[in-house]
Amino acid sequence: MRLVLLVLMLAASAGCATLPPDATPVQKADPFEAWNRKVFDFNDGLDEAILKPIAKVYAEVFPPIVRRGVDNFYANMADAWSAVNSLLQGQPFIALQSAFRFAVNSTFGILGIIDVAADMNIDRHPEDFGQTLGVWGAEPGPYLVWPLIGSSTVRDSIALPLDYAMSPMNLLNGGATPIAIWSLRLVNTRAGLLDASDLLEQIALDKYSFIRDAYLQRRGSMIRDGEDEPPYDPTKDEDPSAPEGQAPPAAALSQSTPPAAAPSQAMPPAAAPSQPTPPAAASPQAAPPAASSPQAMPPAQPASAVQGPVVPSDSPASEAAK
């Protein structure tokens, strides 16, 4: 049953989230997809046949304020284990904060039914041993789906027995009491996710892929305490084997070398003359075309005209020349 609970919780948390336009969808290796899909279908069928109908009746009988008090009770019990894991993660302040929440709500909040610490602006920090392993560098491994447990990874599956054993709910006396407590938690949580599961049925083309990606995103965010993934660092892609002093690639040069600075006093464009010269065709002093010019060279003269005027043979000049 816990599988159905975890699956629906992840679906609800992812269904209300929107990714930024430039976000890259999560792409995780799923080598056990064939097994996972069969178990997922089994759990989903069990939810539709048993858990969901019970949750609907439960939601109709108990008002939201009662169901919220039940949620607070279980969350308060989880705060004790969260304090231990925060300390193991090297966060003593958060560990002290979780321990203080547990003490205040357990005493003044009627075993945590009333979240008194929230009114004191003391935030809750849910932590488990799977997150602790992730903080110290343990890789999540392939995605897994377990019968009656739900979504997990190899890392979280290793941590699951310890998380279950250290739960304060297991410190109660044996018999039917722990079973009743776990069953109430399951039904109460499922009742709070009825609307989310109906919405998931309408929008998800592939429920398995949707819930898988939602689970992996949520677990990664919890390990980072809700912080975004670190931005891409291009220096990590530099080849460490490149010899020192080697010229960087052109892409790096474009980022490292600044563009040439513009001259502080740029040369102004050539100033236009105060009295622009009129076009040659319109100038009154321009020479007219050769064909129509009155000053054009006269046509060639006869040879006699070139040599001088013709002197009559009986003129005195002619006699003097003789």
Three-state SS at 72: helix
pLDDT greater than 70 at residue 210: yes
Q: What is the pLDDT of residue 287?
A: 43
Q: What is the pLDDT of residues 142-174, one digit of tens each?
A: 999 999 999 999 999 999 999 998 888 777 656
Tokens of 132: 């602790």
Range of the domain at 165: 2-17+30-229
The reply to whether 176 falls in a domain is yes
The reply to whether 25 falls in a domain is no
Q: Give the percent of the chain with pLDDT over 90.
A: 51
Rounded to 10 deg, the angle between the 52-61 and 177-191 helix axes is 80
The reply to whether 126 falls in a domain is yes
Q: What is the pLDDT of residues 88-147, one digit of tens each?
A: 999 999 999 999 999 999 999 999 999 999 999 999 999 999 999 999 999 999 999 999
Claim: this prediction has a pTM higher than 0.85: no
The reply to whether 166 falls in a domain is yes
The reply to whether 304 falls in a domain is no
The reply to whether 256 falls in a domain is no
164: closest CA among 192, 143, 185, 144? Answer: 185
Mean pLDDT of the 17-34 span = 61
Cβ-in-10-Å burial (0-12, 13-18, 19+) of 282 comes to exposed
The reply to whether 222 falls in a domain is yes
Q: What is the pLDDT of residue 227?
A: 64
Q: What is the pLDDT of residue 204?
A: 75
pLDDT greater than 80 at residue 283: no
Q: What is the 3-state secondary structure (H, E, C) of 164-231?
A: HHCCHHHHCCCCCHHHHHHHHHHHHHHHCCHHHHHHHHHHCCCHHHHHHHHHHHHHHHHHCCCCCCCC
Q: What is the pLDDT of residues 211-261, one digit of tens each?
A: 999 999 999 999 988 665 555 454 554 444 544 444 444 444 444 444 444
pLDDT greater than 70 at residue 274: no
CA separation for the pair 278, 123 (Å, rounded): 86
The reply to whether 75 falls in a domain is yes
Domains contained in the chain, number: 1
